Amino acid sequence: MAIEIHVPVLGESVTEATVGKWFKSVGDAVAVDEPICELETDKVALEVNATASGALTEIKVEEGDTVGVGALLAIIDETAHGKTSPTPTTPKADVAPAAAAPAAASDAAPAGGVRASAAKIAADKAVDLSKIVGTGADGVVTKADVLNYLEHGATAPAAAAGSNDTGSTVVADASPREEVVPMTRLRRTIAKRLKDAQNTAAMLTTYNEVDMTQVIKLRNQYKDMFEKKHGSKLGFMSFFVKACVQALKEIPEVNAEIRDDAIVYKNYYHIGVAASTPAGLVVPVVRDCQDRSFSDVEKEIVRLGGRARDGKLGMDEMQGGTFTISNGGIFGSLMSSPILNAPQSGILGMHAIKERAMVENGQVVIKPMMYLALSYDHRVVDGKGAVTFLVRVKECLEDPQRLVLDL
């Protein structure tokens, strides 16, 4: 019996996606719930799973094609027995065309694998795939990589060196000076949203600094006990989430948004925690942080971060945030001005903790300091509110007992 695989519902207001890559080729065996392809939407990359076991007999769309919700992707024959692929990312049909290249070309496929569309072009143009460095996930060679190689790097490395008429050696630059790689749908959406935020909001940033001594001391004192009891490590982010909730309760406009001609104040605290992934920046949301304990916050951040890195975040896990925290400090950033995550009115930027000389009671002492930055929409938040918000966050972090006592 033939089973049709269609594009699933992609989420609220999302009507189309781009076919990112096929994990299976025509003739491959598939099992129920096994991923057969990946779709890229404006917000996430998601896998489409087989709804039946059998053999993949037809693929209806190519990698890079745009498809709408409900579009036919592939057909599975439940009565057939297909061949088994070596790995999900390197189907046999993907690397087979490399063997059809001229004898002068190497038969070795790139370690990261080859997408079917890339292999087809390479076979048609007699391109040696082993000479192409893949830019896809895990080093997979994409269609864009092959096209770029044909345009800029078609000279074989063996011909890179030679002699001119004067007898001197001439070394050619075999690598292209520029690479043209099409933006993914997710990257295009990130770029558009960031620019829209700059164009729409009256964005301003205020700064402060916080002494992290007490948080570090408390974390070091209880981190082993915390992990033993709750099964998760005690990080810094849970302190910042809880401190922001305290500050947002006092300065509600930072937790608000403009909707039409009204300001909507929210009495719940869905905190977005920005995460960097190979596909781009995503902001999964930790919901109802006002009702969560430190351990609940830590576990949810770890869970969402893992799903973000694996490209498995659902649309519902990234929608509905009321405030965002971005931690550039993990990459070494000392200070930056984060861009608002529209339609939110505030975003807190964390940065690297650095020991600095500070004056305390007339004495110079060394303290672990962090710069904080709050970018806010001045249409909603006045300067006084923004500064007060940062001061409250600073007070909670420099005296973390406030968080326990809800002060």
Return the residue matching tokens 């049909």.
93
User: For residue 394, what pLDDT is reported?
Assistant: 96
C-alpha–C-alpha distance, residues 150 and 148, integer Å:
5
Judge whether 6 counts as a catalytic residue: no
User: For residue 93, what pLDDT is reported?
Assistant: 38
Sign of the Cα pseudo-torsion (348, 344, 287, 185, in order): negative
Return the residue matching tokens 């057909």.
75
Is the same domain home to 104 and 7?
no
Is the same domain home to 204 and 228?
yes
Say if strands 323-327 and 280-282 run parallel, antiparallel, or are unpaired: unpaired
Domain boundary among 54, 77, 100: 77
Are 324 and 348 a contacting pair, CB within 8 Å? Answer: yes
* CATH classification of the domain holding 68: 2.40.50.100
C-alpha–C-alpha distance, residues 311 and 23, integer Å:
15
* CATH classification of the domain holding 217: 3.30.559.10
Is the same domain home to 56 and 122?
no
User: For residue 110, what pLDDT is reported?
Assistant: 59
User: For residue 64, what pLDDT is reported?
Assistant: 82
For 41, phi then psi, to 5°, come to: -105, -175
Domain boundary among 157, 172, 195: 157
Domain boundary among 27, 42, 77: 77
C-alpha–C-alpha distance, residues 260 and 405, integer Å:
38
Which entry of 124, 316, 382, 406 is annotated as an active-site residue?
382
Is the same domain home to 68 and 97?
no
Does any domain span residue 84? no
Is the same domain home to 69 and 96?
no
Does any domain span residue 179? no
Domain count for the chain:
3
Which entry of 224, 288, 378, 406 is annotated as an active-site residue?
378
C-alpha–C-alpha distance, residues 2 and 280, integer Å:
37
Say if strands 203-211 and 363-377 run parallel, antiparallel, or are unpaired: antiparallel
User: For residue 282, what pLDDT is reported?
Assistant: 84
Does any domain span residue 174? no
Q: Which residues of the chain have pLDDT under 70?
A: 11-13, 42-44, 82, 84-112, 115-117, 120, 136-138, 153-176, 279, 406-407
Judge whether 382 counts as a catalytic residue: yes
One-letter identity of residue 192: K
Is the same domain home to 68 and 17?
yes
Domain that holds residue 360: 185-405
Does any domain span residue 177? no
As separate numbers, helices (DSSP H) first and strands (DSSP E) second, the chain gives 9, 21
Is the same domain home to 105 and 249?
no
> Model-level pTM greater than 0.85?
no
Is the same domain home to 283 and 370?
yes
Does any domain span residue 169? no
Does any domain span residue 112? yes
Does any domain span residue 151? yes
Does any domain span residue 162? no
Is the same domain home to 124 and 256?
no
Is the same domain home to 218 and 356?
yes
Is the same domain home to 240 and 309?
yes
CA-wise closest residue to 37 among 4, 59, 12, 10: 59
CA-wise closest residue to 56 among 20, 38, 83, 33: 83
Is the same domain home to 17 and 119?
no
